[in-house]
Structure 1
């Protein structure tokens, strides 16, 4: 068990959650304010998606990312920024022609997925390490696309967070490492409990932990009611944690949460287990991140 724990807060995500909770931030100002709220509650990292301010739906607009990044960086609250680079990967076969995408399909090229990262140079960005049945749709990330995306991230000097939704994605992440496309000590995120990926349980987390390189940093999260149990489990197994409204809307049964409240609950679990949250600056030093102005620590 580590003495200092990195807390990531995924503040909004891309799912259809805005109609389920008034606390899910939508506009760039709301997303930035929520990231700052999470940092003040003890979060080390803010993981950022953006949404269409008018509809609340997922957006890939770089200008929305720009506003979020500028607002957070200009605030007097320090937090490490992690911008999603998952982009458009949703594939829903058309009923008329399964060879074409139907309504809801949203596919971006590696270059398009990387655009906000390359423009605004966050300290971290995600790299989803494979395709997966994601609920009732398929998330598409072919291996050649991932290699190209890894090259673009590497050239930008941003640290990739290797998001793994199942065990085969760990195998491919290690292949990227072996091919020299991941610099420094790798950083893994185990994404647990999402239908139909890896289970959110201790056995699965332990298995995934034991499959990554020894010099890796790693964290894990569970969705829904498994969010806080996976916080405790990850700490006990030596990892870091992630909470936030992307993955879970509730503080407890029937009580909607804010991002700050979810972070506060994670801090309480961390402290009850004998650890403390890691500060953003400590994380930059441990993970070998560039500072918010583009220079390596």
Structure 2
């Protein structure tokens, strides 16, 4: 198969996520102000898209309160720095079973199950250009936590996102998730151009080896726009992998807190490194306006 690297590439920066990384790096943003500043830093370093989770400002733990999103986005808008806003809609699908002997009732610690409309409250209020839909259910870690997204839930979330005029970014953590995304498209619930993120190397999803990435990209329709990333130390090598595979790049502290061995990164540094990799490979970085045109996004601000 002939190599078809991307010649025009955009970078997404996932600035904080919901994982337990705040105790391992003081550079992971927590408050709405810190999250906004991280987005601004990433945009100024070359990211066209910023992917936003929010956290409890007091504990640093995961949160999904619309007021926290509104505060962070307000700071971004006030800055005047242009970027495409991509808000997660993954929160609210978290199930932690009680134990291996008594799985029910679920554990109150780590379980946050919400309906489709509630999971999209912040999207409905803010109307970002993009929001994510985690396209599948899978195990995470070594305990009893399950990321839970049933086909019925995904259909309803996709329907509501489509009605809002927001572009969904499908998050595919395994090969079957790509098939689910195709099924949602066949239902008429995702408009063109379809945008999909290949999330590699997350236990127990698709491994981040070259063969698995190529298998996933080979199953994508030619007119879909995809990005790919891996977690941890393979995040920056995957910037090159994504370009070589014909896709776009995602980096950020959601997926990796290191710039190099023993060196903690900022979001801006990760974006700068990814930009250097892409441009050294002969690719041109797309800015926010070009990404809006490519993805037919509706700018709201």
- Give the structure-2-normalised TM-score: 0.96
Counterpart CA distance in 1 for 2:16 and 2:57 is 13
Alignment of 1:147-166 (within 5 A): 147-166=155-174
Q: Offset at 1:97? A: 3.1
**217, 220, 240: which one pairs with 1:232?**
240
Matched, 1:98 2:103: yes
Counterpart CA distance in 1 for 2:7 and 2:162 is 30
**277, 280, 283: which one pairs with 2:291?**
283
Q: Offset at 1:276? A: 2.0
Q: Offset at 1:106? A: 1.6
Counterpart CA distance in 1 for 2:46 and 2:285 is 7
Structure 1 moving runs of 4+ over 4 Å: none
CA contact (8 A) 1:164 1:188 kept: yes
Stretches of structure 2 lacking an aligned partner (at least 5 in a row): none
Q: Offset at 1:233? A: 0.6
Counterpart CA distance in 2 for 1:25 and 1:213 is 36
**3-state DSSP of counterpart to 2:229:** strand
Matched, 1:263 2:271: yes
Counterpart CA distance in 1 for 2:224 and 2:59 is 39
Matched, 1:142 2:146: no
Query: Match of 2:136?
Result: 130
Counterpart CA distance in 2 for 1:173 and 1:49 is 22
Counterpart CA distance in 2 for 1:204 and 1:79 is 31
Stretches of structure 1 lacking an aligned partner (at least 5 in a row): none
Please list the CA deviations of residues 12-39 of structure 1 after superposition, one character each: whole Å capped at 9, or x if unmatched: 0000111100100000000000000000
Query: Match of 2:230?
Result: 222
CA contact (8 A) 1:73 1:292 kept: no
Matched, 1:10 2:18: no
Query: Match of 1:180?
Result: 188
Q: Offset at 1:88? A: 1.8
How many pairs does the alignment contain? 293
